[in-house]
Structure 1
């Protein structure tokens, strides 16, 4: 894979092997609230209300994960543009009714490919909770490698802190 020149920030659909990532719209808000409110997801993504979903998940860095036209998850990315530390990070949530089908892995690989080719990044990171074994396995299947545990990294909805596992994918790994 050769480096490419980053393109415009105009979002467009991104095709994976089985999923399509579509830029988020206000119409996605109810299904995102349903996904993030599911107990199996809220454990890791707690604290999302209507305003937080609108503020953090809509816009040019947010995508709905679709399977055959149905929204089954969401994926967002952030960019660090300091030239000496340039990279992208992503977060993903797939509704538990669709776990175990490889959809999260497919979505992560499609987003990583977009971040490498269209946005010109050479490195993408993801940081699942260190106790979220399902997410860690999915990230590993997508090609992400563990870097290390970040202690007391993220606050839970109950106010306690839990560890995160930093994982990375380099352009040449995909």
Structure 2
């Protein structure tokens, strides 16, 4: 599967991408919000001009009465603020709605991650509520709040 956005290409993580992604997820600006995953095998590489610059993943709830999908993403800090995350999330969201048939998507950034929240709002995600003590900050050992955001198919920009 390859998905093309305006600025990014999303493709399965390939052999050798793991080292690059390990370096990215350990950048201080990325590590503030992400812990290194056990594996990148279920993720898609975010590629810009032939360079792996991050990863995005999705999960699906397939029970009919709760059917929806969720998205997570990280990008190298040197490319933050350039619209690449917005493009990657929008590209994956469109595929999840159009090809996988989801009517609702969720994303759950740290409540303090204002840049991520702004990016997701550009795609059409709306805040639903704060999830108190949602994720354990591995750097401080303290529980941090998360912001649950969702997007309905008709809100997708």
Indicate whether the TM-score tops 0.5: yes
Select which of 41, 46, 54 maps to 1:58.
41
CA drift at 1:159: 2.3
**Aligned partners of 1:143 and 1:173 also within 8 Å:** yes
Aligned to 1:32: 21
Does structure 1 residue 144 correspond to structure 2 residue 125?
yes
Matched with 1:107 is 88
The unaligned stretches of length 5 or more in structure 2 are none
Q: Distance in 2 between matches of 1:156 and 1:82?
A: 31
Q: CA deviation at 1:26?
A: 2.7
The aligned runs of 1:9-28 (5 Å cut-off) are: 12-28=1-17
Structure 2 length-normalised TM: 0.95
| Matched positions, count | 155
1:43 alignment partner in structure 2: 32
TM-fit CA distance, 1:101: 0.7
Q: Secondary structure at the match of 1:45?
A: coil
Question: Does 2:63 match 1:73?
Answer: no
The DSSP-based 3-state class of the residue aligned with 1:31 is helix
The match for 1:9 is: none
> How much does 1:38 deviate?
0.3
User: Is 2:148 aligned against 1:166?
Assistant: yes
| Distance in 2 separating the partners of 1:24 and 1:132 | 26
- In the alignment, the residues of structure 2 paired with residue 151 and residue 68 of structure 1 have an alpha-carbon distance, to the nearest angstrom, of 39
Alignment counterpart, residue 134 of structure 1, candidates 107, 115, 130: 115
TM-score (norm 1): 0.86
Q: Matched residues in 2 for 1:114 and 1:28: separation?
A: 23
Distance 2:15 2:24 in 1: 15
